[in-house]
Structure 1
Amino acid sequence: MATRPLSQQETEARLRDLPGWSLTDRRLTRTFRLDSHFAAAALVVHIAGIQEELNHHSDLTLGYHSVVLAVHTHDAGGAVTAKDFALARRVEEIAPAHGAN
């Protein structure tokens, strides 16, 4: 069964509770800045573990001192769904421990 896409209004309302996140090219996105490349790589590994646990995967881009996460739901036609926001909230919970801002 496909996951229901969120309406524009639902997406905007949920984004208000996730500072730093935005809707870009039909994906929920956030860039995290870190103090070092090693810290950024550690955050990527931690996010990958959460994605495996949720069975919901995003595009992760590792930069020199940054991590970019972009997520949408494939089985909802590439739309943003509640699954994307659940992943975003989990990432927000662990990012500060890596020094991400």
Structure 2
Amino acid sequence: MSSLQDLLAQKAEIDRQISDARRQERNEAISKVRALMAEHGLTAADLVTKAAGPRASTSGRKVAAKYRDPASGQTWTGRGLKPKWLSAALESGKQLTDFAV
């Protein structure tokens, strides 16, 4: 059976080997990326453009109102909790479509 000192020395050696392998793979990946960039004429600026997607293009925008209270003029977009005026009107028997803009 190995002593604690022997096991710690083995662990240190394995950690060093892992670090070396990680560094080597990283360097190879960087070389591949640089070769591809040169092949296609890309720059670092081409890689940092803002990702286009439905969430990225609509975040922060105001949403148009879908429902309006004719009495007070208050509106609701249909997102989030229903406003009190709408909940009260629905409980009194009105339909959601009655308030559509």
Q: Larger radius of gyration, structure 1 or 2?
A: 2
Higher relative contact order (CA 8 A, sep 6+): 1
Higher helix share: 2
Higher strand share: 1
- TM-score class, shorter: under 0.3
Q: What is the TM-score of this pair, normalised by structure 2?
A: 0.22
Q: What is the TM-score of this pair, normalised by structure 1?
A: 0.22
